[in-house]
Structure 1
Amino acid sequence: MKVNNLNRDIVVIADDFTGANDAGVSLALSGKKVSVAFKTPFTDDTDALVINSDSRAMKASEAAEKLAQYAADVHAAHWLIKKIDSTLRGNPGAEIEALLALSGKRQAIIAPAFPAAGRTTENGVCLVKGVPVTDTEFASDPKTPVRHAQIAAVLAEQTALTSVVITPEQLAAALESDARLVIVDARSDDDLDRIIAAAFARDERPLLVGSAGLCDALARRLATPRQLLAVIGSMSEIAQQQIQRVRGQDNVSTVLIDINDVFNAAMDGYQQQIAAALAAGQHCVVHTCADTHARHQIDALCEQRGLSRAALGETISAFLGELTRNALETSRPAALYVSGGDVAMAVASTLNAQGFAITGQVAQCVPFGRFLGCRWQGPVMTKAGGFGTETTLLEVLHFIEEKMSD
């Protein structure tokens, strides 16, 4: 039986199902694996867990009690978000206080604005297309009518925690104050992005409280770049042509492995190069053959090292397998491309993969899928060393940039 997946990147507590989906969709589009749970414990692996408490129409005390059920998930979150309605319906005060108590967090940043849907906040007032929410249909909602346009007044009905109303520019200073509830105005997505940036600057992560607009801003901040880590152990002529074809691209970095370093187990420098390339938003191509001339020096290298061609290949493949595993532990490329059968198997072995699930084909002779039974579950593309055309690797890069971002 599986147990809860501890240390999830994000846990969102929403008070209704559609709101839960609204909170999760942008995170999914940013590259996160997102699941919406109706009940807990939720044991499937997921980057972002969105829990629907279905508590919007409950009494405030009942809503707070319902959230106490999620204590284990709250404690496991790197980022904890209370998703609230952008028009302040429901039990925001009671649920925020409950989550602060459960999580042990000192402060909550509260920004219910959703500018893309016409919901903004100015001077602590919730506006719908520029009109105070109490002058709109939401004031007469049949289940959860809104009685106040002032966010602080809504919260004060259900909690005695101190609050302050500020602008995004004042947020950094407010997070140093004693205010438990920091209500932040936002009239644009840029304002929400500044709010998230201020939260990231804190050593102690605050509770984030907002609508889908704030979740979208977090997703933008956490978006996974669409980068490929390509590990090419093949010395075939076509493999070298494929590398040369992408080398001139502005968004491609290449890392050439010196064979002498393979025998010296000198791996740290290459790991740093790979991490730096991916962190800079570059595709990273790791290869072991500088040019055609190097390919014809294999016999001399074997004689120098006292190895057969097979033994030399095994040594290089093992090095590349370990290097790839280490790179995947420290960076998060969108996908992995492995060229050369021995290298592909070495990578699978170091990742402790139990098999390979084929999903489809990216380009001619480039099947893709996922390794089975191992921790790294990103897409994997494989290619036999001598297969393909000069543009094969370029086609793979285009697939990563275009198809995987759809």
Structure 2
Amino acid sequence: MADVLVVADDLTGANAAAAGFARAGFRAVTASAGERAEVVAEMVSRFDVVVATTDSRHLEPARARERVGRVVRAGWPARLVCNRIDTTLRGNVGATTREVLDRVAELTGSRVVALCAPAHPGANRQTIGGMQLLDGRRLEDTEVARDARTPIHTSDVVALLREQADLEVVAVPLDAVTGDLDALAETIRQHLDAGAEVIVADATTVEHLDRLAAAAVAATAGTETVWTTTDPGPASVALAAALGLAESDRGAPLLALSGSATELTQLQLRQLVAERGARPLRTAGRHAVPDVDATVRMLDDALAEADPGDIVVLATVLDDSDLWSPSSEEAARIPVALARAARRALESRPVDGVFTTGGDVTAALLAELGSHGLEISDEVVPLAVAGSLVGGPWDGLQIVTKGGLVGDARTTIECLDHLRGQVEAHRRQVTAAESRERT
């Protein structure tokens, strides 16, 4: 389950929304889902926030709704569903709001309401008196009124929503937003009791959006009401924080793959278990080429049970009792089987980064993941490098790799510690993902 599913009507807006969530500490991804909504289903288990682009801004309302509905169903379940709209209200704002409300209601069986706060303070977009302003001017007085494809004829957010869809819309003025927080929550509660489906709120600052989100959550506390958003992104980030999503554990486990049988590697893995609490797994099929199917099942279970930041180790040799004398043909198949098991597990279980020891294993893993190579960012210790995968469905995955005879007893610990720091730095970036399914 993703924390947040964002449905965006164009790529630029999707990227901006994802960047806002990334700045707030979420792992965010953008996915092109205009014609392939099913790609979203692959992303929700691997990222905190999935921002799906439907390319529906200039479509007929019925087609836009169809695409939005497919994305919501494909990305379900999610803790918060957001309808990312243009800051100047171009496109099918009302139609997509209606669709998100209907689909989330269908999937939850609960009452669903939308917080519509179209202000984007950082981009100098404000909402005052229910009017959307661009650099302090009403939209109909700016160049968006002459947009070739979707000209804007009104800045009145409530009127625009009602014009485009059958929606019960009410407005919350700026004096309520900036006043007593309990009174603001009570105002929202009264509107909801009167049957409101969409709360349009004034805002000119990020603090206003934070207050709105906190009041919205307080207004529905103890009820089964489900909130969604219709906004350019900042209000969605604020509501995610108010719902406590930003406080949940972030990230996924780290995966260490070892195909080395050296005494040094065994010592390093024992030290990793002792000092960092890593969970060691021996590949299935002892004294033989690993059984890929059985290894996948074992690794899948371990990754599912692991907490963010935990280390899961999959190794062909953990101690001397695992040593055997494979033929040259078997020796060539071992790293391929290890890498294939890892790839199949990664298709359904997220990891934040991968550590590999053994050159053959590293090469086999790159081939299995469809990578063209590594973008090297650092040398952790001599002959152990850090970087990320280049190309393929796992493009950008953080990795540290070393040879089986490199370093001392604590070198693998140093490599995993470096990988953890590398992942935290990378978390602030937004990924653009593609399907990872392979035959």
Length-normalised TM-score, structure 1: 0.61
Task: Name the residue aligned to 2:278.
Answer: 254
2:258 is the alignment partner of 1:232:
yes
User: Could you tell me which amino acid in structure 2 is paired with residue 161 of structure 1?
Assistant: L
Deviations 1:287-326 (A, max 9, x none): 44887xx34x45xx53xxxx53767756764663354234
Deviations 1:332-363 (A, max 9, x none): 112222221343355456x4x45532322442
Post-superposition offset of 1:386: 1.7
2:311 is the alignment partner of 1:284:
yes
2:20 is the alignment partner of 1:26:
yes
Which stretch of structure 1 is more off in the superposition, 185-194 or 67-76? 185-194
Secondary structure in 2 aligned to 1:256?
strand
Which of 404, 426, 431 is the equivalent residue of 1:385? 404
Which of 108, 112, 116 is the equivalent residue of 2:117? 112
Q: 1:325 to 1:369 in 2, by over 3 A?
A: same
- In structure 2, stretches of 5+ residues that fail to align are 44-50, 146-151, 173-181, 430-439
2:333 is the alignment partner of 1:330:
no
User: Could you tell me which amino acid in structure 2 is paired with residue 96 of structure 1?
Assistant: T
Deviations 1:190-230 (A, max 9, x none): 8648979999xx99998642232244358875996265322
Aligned residues: 360
Which of 66, 70, 75 is the equivalent residue of 1:75? 70
Post-superposition offset of 1:232: 2.0
Which of 292, 295, 304 is the equivalent residue of 1:275? 304
Post-superposition offset of 1:328: 0.9
User: Could you tell me which amino acid in structure 1 is paired with residue 348 of structure 2?
Assistant: T
User: Could you tell me which amino acid in structure 1 is paired with residue 280 of structure 2?
Assistant: L
CA distance in 1, matches of 2:405, 2:277: 22
Task: Name the residue aligned to 1:216.
Answer: 237
- Within-5 A mapping of 1:2-401: 10-13=6-9, 21-27=15-21, 30-34=26-30, 48-50=51-53, 65=60, 68=63, 71-72=66-67, 74-77=69-72, 78=75, 81-84=82-85, 92-93=93-94, 96-97=97-98, 109-112=114-117, 132=129, 137-138=136-137, 142=141, 143=145, 155-156=161-162, 158-163=164-169, 181-183=197-199, 187-189=208-210, 192=213, 208-216=229-237, 221=245, 225=251, 227-240=253-266, 242-243=268-269, 246-247=272-273, 252-258=276-282, 262=286, 265=294, 268-277=297-306, 280-288=307-315, 294-295=319-320, 297=321, 301-302=323-324, 307-308=325-326, 317=335, 320-348=338-366, 351=368, 353-354=369-370, 356-363=372-379, 364-366=383-385, 368-370=387-389, 378-388=397-407, 390=411, 391-401=414-424
Q: Is the 8 A contact 1:229 1:336 kept in 2?
A: yes
Q: Is the 8 A contact 1:362 1:396 kept in 2?
A: no
User: Could you tell me which amino acid in structure 1 is paired with residue 418 of structure 2?
Assistant: E
Q: Is the 8 A contact 2:168 2:197 kept in 1?
A: yes
Q: Is the 8 A contact 2:400 2:415 kept in 1?
A: no
User: Could you tell me which amino acid in structure 2 is paired with residue 343 of structure 1?
Assistant: V
Length-normalised TM-score, structure 2: 0.57
Q: Is the 8 A contact 1:370 1:377 kept in 2?
A: yes
CA distance in 2, matches of 1:71, 1:372: 32
Post-superposition offset of 1:13: 2.0
Q: Is the 8 A contact 1:24 1:215 kept in 2?
A: no
Q: Is the 8 A contact 1:318 1:346 kept in 2?
A: yes
Secondary structure in 1 aligned to 2:278?
strand
Q: Is the 8 A contact 1:114 1:212 kept in 2?
A: no
Q: 1:361 to 1:111 in 2, by over 3 A?
A: same
CA distance in 1, matches of 2:104, 2:355: 40
Deviations 1:70-104 (A, max 9, x none): 73465244276433467978874455347768999
Which stretch of structure 1 is more off in the superposition, 280-289 or 315-324? 315-324
Q: 1:404 to 1:213 in 2, by over 3 A?
A: closer
Q: 1:204 to 1:248 in 2, by over 3 A?
A: farther
Post-superposition offset of 1:256: 1.6
Post-superposition offset of 1:286: 0.3
CA distance in 2, matches of 1:100, 1:183: 13
Q: 1:20 to 1:328 in 2, by over 3 A?
A: closer
Q: 1:394 to 1:205 in 2, by over 3 A?
A: same
Q: Is the 8 A contact 2:258 2:357 kept in 1?
A: yes
Which stretch of structure 1 is more off in the superposition, 363-372 or 333-342? 363-372
Q: 1:102 to 1:281 in 2, by over 3 A?
A: closer
CA distance in 1, matches of 2:370, 2:138: 57
Q: 1:198 to 1:83 in 2, by over 3 A?
A: farther
CA distance in 2, matches of 1:405, 1:245: 31
